[in-house]
Each structure stands twice: as C-alpha cells, then as structure tokens.
Amino acid sequence: MSSESEHRPLVAILSGAGISTDSGIPDYRGPQGLWRQDPEAEKLVTYDSYMADPEIRRRSWLMRRDSETLAARPNGAHEAVARLERSGVPVRVITQNVDGLHQLAGLPARKVLELHGTARTVQCTVCDARSDMATALERVASGEPDPSCAECGGILKSATVMFGQALDPEVLTDAVAVARACEVFLAVGTSLQVQPAASLAGMAAEGGARLVIVNAEPTPYDELADEVVREPIGTALPALLDRIAAGG
C-alpha cells in the first residue's frame, strides 16, 4: 500500500451551540436564545458583576442548579464525531460549548479544545483549585447560597470563560495551530460571529483547507466556504462525517 493511499486528512471541527440543541441545551445567542430574551441574565455570567455582587453569585448558582447542561446526553451529531475518530481519521474538535458532550460521546479529551472552558468543573478565583461542579451544586442544595473554595475560602465560579474574561491563551494557540494544519474544517452549529473563534474558519480556508459550514442561519464566512449545509445538524452532520470516513 502506498503512502498516498494511507493518508488520512486532518479534520478539524469547530462546534457551537447548534450541535447541542438536540440534547436539550438552549442556544443562548440564537433568535430564541436566553441572552436575547433576558438581557439581565448576562450579568450572571459577566465576570465583574459576578465578583462584585453576592446576590448575582447566588442567582448564578441557582441558574447552574437548574441548568439542563449537566443532565444532558450526547446526541447523534456528537456520536458521529466520535465515530469518525474511531474510524481512524485524525480528528480535533474545537468547541465553543461548555457542556462536555463531545467527551461523553466517546471522543478522547485530549482531542477536544474547549475554548470557553467547561461547566462541569468549578474553580477558585483566588487559588485556582478545581473541583467537580456536581459537588458544588450539592452544597448549594444543602443551603450554601454562595459556596466558597474549600481550600482557601475564595470565591468559586464555573470553570467557564465569563463575559469580560480572556480565553485561555494555550487553548487558543492550540486551536489556531489545528486550524492552520487541517485539510478539512467543519464549522457546525456556530454563527461564526464570536471572535476569536470565528476567525479560525478564515484561517483554515486561507491555509487551503476545505471549509464546510453546517448551520441553520447564514454566517459571515459562507462566501469562503466550499460547501454550506442548511439541513438539521442531527441528520446532516452524521451523513457528512460518514462520507468523510469513507474517503469522500
């Protein structure tokens, strides 16, 4: 077998909220998204407001307690990505989501770059100690409205990137490297309007990658794309990835 026939292209997948809506997690920025319906809710995930106001923190913990995220299960789109990876195709996922569903679907954690962090972990804003979100929520349920760090007593927050916080520079650097190295770049369920994540699609296209956009609404990068898919992600993505796995 020749080396040419053995070659499997590196596939990068940038996933946004749209890939998880079939799992019951709302799209915060979409037409019916939480941020559009209740602008006040943004304060609950804005770093300065969260750190300055104990009442905002109490409301934020209640929001996490009631969130569908931790109870959500991977859907067919997440499973299709994991299936592609198991087929032997080199896959890297760059996700704007904080739900951890790619990993729950079976994709190795080392192949997932979480640009906006994870809602499954909490971190201390003082000593940076990390622990399980479920444990913190148990403390809230037992009567602690604003649980503090068990290590140093500092303010705890979800290990997500809040409004007003910068992305982790190491994660972003790795994401840029993947975008520049890949041969196929799929933007799935993302509006491609939030920077710097959106710019990864442009970087991939400029580097010669085949750019495929799977999203219900138009994006600013549609004109750069080799293929734009408007079909529902739950059916369109598995079909697309099975085609890639077959060498198409």
Could you read off the pLDDT of 199-228 as tens digits, one per residue? 999 999 999 999 999 999 999 999 999 999
Could you please report the per-residue DSSP string of 51-113?
A: HH-HHHHHHHHHHHHH-STTT----HHHHHHHHHHHTT--EEEEES--S-HHHHTT--GGGEE
Encoded tokens for 49:
């407001």
Q: What is the pTM of this model?
A: 0.91
State which H helix or E strand residue 201 sits in: helix 199-206
Encoded tokens for 79:
């499973």
CA angle 53, 170, 200 (to 5 degrees): 95
Q: Which CATH architecture has domain 1-25+73-116+166-248?
A: 3-Layer(aba) Sandwich (3.40)
Domain ranges of the chain: 1-25+73-116+166-248, 28-67+120-160
Give the Cα separation of 30 and 166 in Å (integer): 23
pLDDT, tens digit, for every residue of 136-179? 999 999 999 999 999 999 999 999 999 999 999 999 999 999 99
Q: One of 7, 78, 102, 116 is an active-site residue; which one?
A: 116
Regarding the domain delimited by 28-67+120-160, which CATH topology (the fold level of the hierarchy) does it fall under? Answer: SIR2/SIRT2 'Small Domain' (3.30.1600)
**Is 7 noted as a catalytic residue in this protein?**
no
For 52, other C-beta atoms within 10 Å of its C-beta total 10
